[in-house]
């Protein structure tokens, strides 16, 4: 199916799903006590695989899909968030949420900014994973940093026409893209490679709800996304 989608005519054998793949073993190791055990060797392997495996497809997150007018089907989606994120699938068929770098690490948020206007920092996702592991909660999916070639690893592998249409070359000759979503996904909020490489975080996906039904607990400390009101 993968070769057919890319219209490949090579006689090489198609990619095979391996049950020993790190993301499969990560899914099988999830329990009520945590997403992985303290002594699990799978997490280190999963982080390495997400950092080095080539991508075979890319798609917008569910939030960006809802913000667009098109109803093109997406097979890999994330049903939350207001900032630019992409779902990448790797050659071992594992999936990860890619959050691109939007601002420098030493760049501070102006005091007058509301928290929902501020860019979400990719390195905060990485720090959250490591802090969660140090505190022994083990409830944050494995997350790693990676330099992604936005041309070869996103634009050239995606079949999503909406995503293809938002790529452009900036006046500085860098390859950029933005996303279509209700809030901060406009051309002025585009992210750009240098000229093709873009730093970002990759967070491993959990099993689908069809395979692993689970209870979703609302955040009791959720905050309002309104300039006027506050959440109860």
Among the residue ranges 2-16, 171-185, 201-215, the one predicted with the least confidence is 2-16
Tell me phi and psi for residue 28, to 5 degrees.
-70, -20
In a domain, residue 31? The reply is: yes
SS3 34: strand
In a domain, residue 228? The reply is: no
Q: How far apart are CA 61 and CA 183, in angstroms?
A: 14
**Domain interval for residue 180:** 1-7+16-70+82-106+119-204
Q: What is the pLDDT of residues 205-219, one digit of tens each?
A: 999 888 888 888 888
Would you state the pLDDT for residue 117?
Answer: 74
Would you state the pLDDT for residue 180?
Answer: 66
- 72, pLDDT greater than 50: no
Q: What's the total number of domains in the chain?
A: 1
In a domain, residue 131? The reply is: yes
- 3, pLDDT greater than 70: no
In a domain, residue 114? The reply is: no
**Of 108 and 30, the one with more pLDDT:** 30
CA triple 85-86-89, angle to 5 deg: 150
The pTM assigned to this predicted structure is 0.81
In a domain, residue 77? The reply is: no
The reply to whether 84 sits in an annotated binding site is no
Q: How far apart are CA 61 and CA 88, in angstroms?
A: 10
User: Which residues make Cβ contacts (< 8 Å) with residue 156, sequence separation at least 6?
Assistant: none
pLDDT average, residue stretch 216-228: 81
- Per-residue pLDDT band for 194 (boundaries 50, 70, 90) equals very high
In a domain, residue 223? The reply is: no
Would you state the pLDDT for residue 221?
Answer: 84
pLDDT average, residue stretch 85-92: 93
Percent of the chain with pLDDT over 70: 80
pLDDT average, residue stretch 39-51: 96
In a domain, residue 218? The reply is: no
Tell me phi and psi for residue 191, to 5 degrees.
-110, 145
Would you state the pLDDT for residue 70?
Answer: 31
- 91, pLDDT greater than 70: yes
The reply to whether 205 sits in an annotated binding site is yes
- Residue indicated by tokens 């007018």: 69
The reply to whether 203 sits in an annotated binding site is yes
> Could you tell me how far CA 129 lies from the centroid of its own chain?
14
**Of 121 and 7, the one with more pLDDT:** 121
Q: How far apart are CA 24 and CA 49, in angstroms?
A: 12
pLDDT average, residue stretch 138-165: 94
Q: What is the mean pLDDT of the chain?
A: 83
In a domain, residue 232? The reply is: no
**Of 219 and 169, the one with more pLDDT:** 169
3-state secondary structure 54-82: CEEEEEECHHHHHHCCCCCCCCCCCCCCC
- 74, pLDDT greater than 50: no
Among the residue ranges 21-25, 81-85, 164-168, 188-192, the one predicted with the least confidence is 81-85
């Amino acid at each position: 199916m993968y070769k057919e989608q890319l219209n490949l005519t090579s006689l090489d054998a198609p990619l095979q799903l391996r049950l020993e793949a790190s993301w499969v073993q990560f899914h099988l190791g999830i329990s009520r006590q945590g997403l992985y055990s303290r002594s699990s060797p799978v997490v280190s392997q999963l982080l390495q695989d997400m950092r080095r495996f080539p991508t075979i497809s890319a798609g917008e997150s569910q939030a960006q899909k809802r913000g667009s007018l098109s109803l093109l089907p997406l097979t890999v989606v994330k049903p939350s968030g207001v900032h630019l994120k992409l779902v990448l699938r790797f050659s071992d068929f594992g999936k990860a949420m890619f959050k691109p770098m939007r601002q420098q690490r030493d760049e501070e948020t102006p005091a007058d900014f509301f928290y929902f206007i501020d860019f979400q920092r990719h390195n905060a996702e990485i720090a959250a994973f490591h802090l969660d592991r140090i505190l022994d909660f083990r409830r944050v999916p494995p997350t790693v940093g990676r330099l992604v070639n936005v041309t070869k690893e996103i634009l050239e592998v995606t079949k999503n026409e909406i995503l293809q249409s938002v790529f452009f070359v900036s006046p500085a000759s860098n390859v950029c893209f933005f996303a279509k979503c209700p809030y901060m996904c406009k051309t002025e909020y585009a992210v750009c490679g240098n000229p093709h490489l873009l730093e970002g975080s990759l967070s491993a996906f959990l099993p689908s709800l069809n395979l692993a039904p689970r209870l979703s607990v609302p955040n009791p400390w959720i905050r309002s996304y309104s300039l006027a009101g506050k959440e109860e």
